[in-house]
């Protein structure tokens, strides 16, 4: 499905305000609103757009045709000109009233998203790295997330993440993601989401995708990418510990395993023994696609897990810091602080801090925002993942390194667009016919 028209006609005017019909077809003036777009004439005059504005009546450069390029509003046209005007009129009515073909509106289910991403860990990592690079290059728009919170359900929230991605992605959109932590007691995932993609040229929503898998996959790919680059100047950790054993932890493990991490020891700590056991059971199965040989240890505390791990992943739903002792990090692990609010300011201030976006990360009561309030400045933030990707920041091996990604909407849009393209390429895009009912401006 494309949003561009391709016709054997060339543009001759962008400014005509009305179109007189030739004799025989009546004379009717169309208001500027109807005919303020491009007029087209048959393409024997050559191809390619003509600059808008006065002077377009002149023959095309190098043109040999004697057929006049006639401004449609020209008065006193001769018979031949009238013919051309008639054709022009018909084309104009056809073209101007529907100047762009809005893409069909597709709905992509979670099952289809899952199929599109299954086994594509490396490709997804590449999509995410490219999105980070576009963001760092300034070729994105990523306003602050909007948090919808509820006085009657204080633990719940729904977050809107609008974003626009440039480069080859050229897609806008928004993720609308709910977090209802109480869901897990009912056995259903905490988070649910939809992702809307908008067409770059028309603005039309072109797809609604199930968003929770895309969100989890982009988060995990971002974590795996960061782990890889932050460990570039140190031995790759083989002892990996997860604080919080929910869906995001499972995805991060999957992306580490799926992108070549050889894990010898896996640690798990969860405030809920049942969740810790469930996650450990999952890690112990060969079906994880990961290291069947890795030993899995369920730790009795986050402190024990941190001491025993060289790569520590925080994926809890803690609202306030619960790890306060910076001495736990004396062995200089790399920490993926995905849940953003686990570490006390003392831990943050004792580490090399890498974020995805400084302004995003130092808000919404994250550990970094608490640290900023404590010291009154942001100098403890050493740089962004973009800085690491581009070699401007080389995280040292002799200090703890903490990566705190706020989770940028641009990642969702980039990965959502990837999924859309994969599904479309397989011919399995489910278009909702006539989703947009009014496709002519005046009906």
Ligand X SMILES: NC(=O)c1ccc[n+]([C@@H]2O[C@H](COP(=O)([O-])OP(=O)(O)OC[C@H]3O[C@@H](n4cnc5c(N)ncnc54)[C@H](O)[C@@H]3O)[C@@H](O)[C@H]2O)c1
| Residue ranges that bind ligand X, judged by CB under 6 A | 181, 184, 190-191, 215, 219, 243-249, 269-272, 275, 302, 315-318, 322, 338-340, 405-407
Nearer to ligand X, 184 or 397 (CB): 184
Nearer to ligand X, 249 or 351 (CB): 249
Q: Determine contact, residues 319/368, Cβ cutoff 8 Å.
A: no
CB of 199 to ligand X, least distance (A): 26
Burial 271-295 (b: 16+ CB within 10 A, else e): eeeebbebbbebbeeeebebbeebe
Nearer to ligand X, 19 or 340 (CB): 340
311-314 and 334-337 strand pairing: parallel
E strand or H helix at 199: strand 191-199
CB of 242 to ligand X, least distance (A): 9
CB of 393 to ligand X, least distance (A): 19
Nearer to ligand X, 3 or 178 (CB): 178
Q: What is the C-alpha to C-alpha distance for residues 319 and 366, in angstroms, rounded to an integer?
A: 9
Total Cβ atoms within 10 A of residue 408: 25
CB of 108 to ligand X, least distance (A): 20
Q: Exposed, middle or buried: residue 66 (CB in 10 Å: 0-12, 13-18, 19+)?
A: exposed
Locate 373 and state its tokens. Answer: 């309030």
Q: What is the C-alpha to C-alpha distance for residues 152 and 400, in angstroms, rounded to an integer?
A: 40
Nearer to ligand X, 129 or 270 (CB): 270
Which residue of this chain has its Cβ atom nearest to ligand X in the complex?
Answer: 246
Looking at the DSSP bridge assignments, the partners of residue 197 are 173, 207
Nearer to ligand X, 102 or 315 (CB): 315
Q: What is the C-alpha to C-alpha distance for residues 222 and 129, in angstroms, rounded to an integer?
A: 8
CB of 20 to ligand X, least distance (A): 59
CB of 173 to ligand X, least distance (A): 17
Q: Determine contact, residues 4/199, Cβ cutoff 8 Å.
A: no
Nearer to ligand X, 270 or 372 (CB): 270
- Hey, is 294 helix, strand or coil? coil
Q: What is the C-alpha to C-alpha distance for residues 386 and 392, in angstroms, rounded to an integer?
A: 8
CB of 346 to ligand X, least distance (A): 17
Locate 171 and state its tokens. Answer: 């897609």
Nearer to ligand X, 69 or 190 (CB): 190
Looking at the DSSP bridge assignments, the partners of residue 196 are 174, 208
CB of 274 to ligand X, least distance (A): 8
**Alpha-carbon 20 to chain mean position:** 47
CB of 397 to ligand X, least distance (A): 24
Nearer to ligand X, 41 or 159 (CB): 159
Nearer to ligand X, 318 or 343 (CB): 318
- Hey, is 22 helix, strand or coil? coil
CB of 323 to ligand X, least distance (A): 9
DSSP class per residue in 61-118: TT----S----TT-SS--HHHHHHHHHHHHHHHHHHHS-S-PPPPEEE-HHHHHHHHT
**Alpha-carbon 121 to chain mean position:** 16
């Amino acid at each position: 499905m494309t949003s561009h028209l391709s016709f054997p006609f060339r543009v001759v005017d962008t400014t005509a305000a009305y179109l007189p019909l030739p004799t025989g077809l009546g004379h009717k003036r169309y208001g500027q609103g109807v005919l303020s777009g491009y007029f087209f004439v048959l393409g024997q005059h050559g191809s390619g757009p003509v600059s808008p504005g006065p002077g377009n009546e002149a023959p095309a450069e190098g043109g040999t045709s004697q057929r006049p390029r006639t401004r449609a509003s020209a008065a006193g046209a001769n018979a031949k000109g009238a013919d051309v005007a008639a054709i022009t009129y018909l084309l104009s009515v056809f073209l101007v009233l529907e100047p762009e073909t809005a893409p069909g509106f597709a709905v992509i289910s979670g099952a289809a998203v899952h199929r599109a991403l299954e086994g594509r860990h490396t490709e997804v990592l590449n999509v995410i790295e490219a999105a980070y690079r576009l963001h760092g290059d300034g070729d994105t728009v990523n306003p602050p997330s909007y948090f919808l919170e509820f006085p009657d359900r204080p633990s719940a929230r729904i977050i809107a993440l609008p974003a626009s991605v440039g480069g080859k992605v050229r897609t806008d959109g928004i993720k609308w993601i709910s977090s209802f932590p109480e869901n897990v007691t009912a056995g259903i995932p905490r988070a649910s989401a939809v992702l809307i993609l908008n067409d770059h040229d028309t603005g039309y929503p072109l797809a609604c995708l199930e968003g929770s898998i895309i969100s989890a996959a982009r988060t995990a790919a971002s974590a795996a990418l960061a782990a890889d680059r932050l460990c570039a100047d140190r031995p790759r950790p083989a002892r990996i510990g997860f604080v919080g054993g929910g869906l995001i932890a499972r995805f991060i493990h999957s992306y580490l395993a799926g992108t070549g991490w050889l894990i010898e020891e896996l640690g798990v700590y969860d405030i809920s023994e049942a969740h810790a056991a469930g996650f450990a059971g999952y890690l112990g199965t060969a079906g994880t696609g990961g290291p069947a040989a890795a030993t899995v240890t369920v730790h009795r505390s986050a402190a024990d897990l941190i001491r025993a791990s060289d790569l520590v992943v925080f994926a809890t739903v803690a609202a306030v810091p619960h790890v306060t002792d910076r001495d736990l990090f004396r062995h200089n692990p790399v920490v993926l602080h995905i849940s953003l609010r686990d570490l006390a300011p003392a831990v943050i201030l004792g580490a090399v801090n890498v974020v995805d976006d400084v302004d995003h990360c130092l808000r919404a009561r994250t550990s970094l925002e608490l640290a900023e309030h404590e010291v009154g400045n942001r100098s403890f933030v050493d740089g962004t993942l973009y800085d690491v990707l581009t070699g401007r920041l080389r995280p040292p091996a002799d200090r703890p390194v903490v990566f705190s990604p706020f989770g940028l909407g641009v990642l969702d849009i980039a990965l959502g667009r990837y999924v859309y393209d994969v599904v479309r390429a397989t011919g399995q895009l489910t278009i909702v016919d006539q989703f947009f009912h009014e496709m002519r401006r005046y009906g």
